[in-house]
Amino acid sequence: MRVLLSGYNGTMGQVLKNYIQDNTALEIVAGVGRELLEEKFPTYTSYEGLEKIADVIIDFSHHAGTASLVEYAKRTVTKVVIATTGHTTEELELIDELATQVGVVYAGNYSLGVNVLVELVKKASELLLGYDIEVIEKHHNKKVDAPSGTAKMLVDAVKDVEDYNRVYGRHGDMKRQEKEIGIHAVRGGTIVGEHEVIFAGEDEVIEIKHTALSKKMFAKGSVTAAQWLNTVGEPRLYSMKDVLGIK
C-alpha cells in the first residue's frame, strides 16, 4: 500500500515515518510539510501540481491545512486518515463534504486503548446516572489545541447517554451546577497524553484513566486505520469504532 504523509516533518509525522519504515511493508511515496527535510522519499511544501501518487493519505499536520488537503484528496480521489485535531466548524464541514466522495477515517485519537476507554465511559455513564462527571486531560507544552480531541470524544460519549452542559475549567464563586461536565486541560513538559474521567457520587468516586507512554501507539493506530480504509470501497466518514469493529 502506498502512503502519502501529510505533516511528515512534524513531531508525529516523524514518529509515523519511523514506525512505517521499521515495522511495516507499506511504501511511503511522498511527504507534504511546511518545510523540506532530507528523506528517502520525495517531499513537497504544498499539494499544488501534485498528481495522485498514493492509496491513502495519513494526515498528522495542522488543521489550518485542511482546505488544501481536502482539495487535493478530491482532485485525485485519494482516501484520507485524518489524525489532526483542533478543527474549526468550517474545516469539519469540508471533511464531511470530502467523505461524500472518498473514504475518510476521522478520529480524535488513534490509540486502541483510548477507543476502549471511550466505550467504558459510555457504559459507566449509563450505569451511573446523576453522578457528577469531570474530564481531565494532560499533554506536553507544545500542544496547540485545548481541550484535546480525545477529551471531546469522552464528553461526546457521556452526552450520547445524558445531556450535560460543558464547563471549561472553573473559576469564580459559583458552586457546581447540576448537569455540568467539567473539562480541564493541563499543559506541561513532555507529557505524551493522559485522560481521566471522574464519576463522583454520594460517598464514592469512580475514576477511569488512560496514560500514553509513547507516541508510537498513535502511529500504529493510524496505520491500522489506513490499511483498513484501503480495503473499503464506499465513500463515507468512518471512525476508529468502524476500524476496530466496535459496535
Contact 225, 115 (CB under 8 A): no
Catalytic-labelled residue, pool 74, 143, 184, 216: 143
Q: Which residues are annotated as a binding site for (S)-2,3,4,5-tetrahydrodipicolinate?
A: 140, 149-150
Per residue in 201-241, pLDDT (tens digit) is 999 999 999 999 999 999 999 999 999 999 998 999 999 99
Residues constituting the chain: 247
> Between 3.40.50.720, 3.20.20.140, 3.90.76.10, 3.40.50.10540, what CATH number should domain 2-110+215-244 receive?
3.40.50.720
Quote the pLDDT of residue 126. Answer: 96
SS3 206: strand
Count of CB atoms situated within 10 Å of the CB of 239: 16
pTM listed for this prediction: 0.83
Q: Does the annotation count 143 as an active-site position?
A: yes
Query: Does the pLDDT value for residue 94 go beyond 90?
Result: yes
What is the side-by-side order of every strand in the sheet holding 2-6? 43-44, 27-32, 2-6, 56-59, 79-82, 104-106, 237-238
Q: Nearest-CA neighbor of 211 among 113, 109, 84?
A: 113
Quote the pLDDT of residue 247. Answer: 76
Q: Give the chain's mean pLDDT.
A: 95
> Between 3.30.1310.10, 3.20.20.140, 3.40.50.10490, 3.30.360.10, what CATH number should domain 112-212 receive?
3.30.360.10
Query: Does the pLDDT value for residue 246 go beyond 90?
Result: no
Query: Does the pLDDT value for residue 125 go beyond 90?
Result: yes
Query: Does the pLDDT value for residue 168 go beyond 80?
Result: yes
Q: Does the annotation count 142 as an active-site position?
A: no
Catalytic-labelled residue, pool 79, 87, 139, 195: 139
Mean pLDDT on 107-115: 90
Query: Does the pLDDT value for residue 189 go beyond 90?
Result: yes
Residues of each domain in the chain carrying CATH 3.30.360.10: 112-212
Per residue in 4-23, pLDDT (tens digit) is 999 999 999 999 999 999 98
Quote the pLDDT of residue 87. Answer: 93
Quote the pLDDT of residue 108. Answer: 85
Query: Does the pLDDT value for residue 97 go beyond 80?
Result: yes
Residues of each domain in the chain carrying CATH 3.40.50.720: 2-110+215-244
Q: Which three cell numbers stand for residue 29?
A: 511515496
Quote the pLDDT of residue 120. Answer: 96
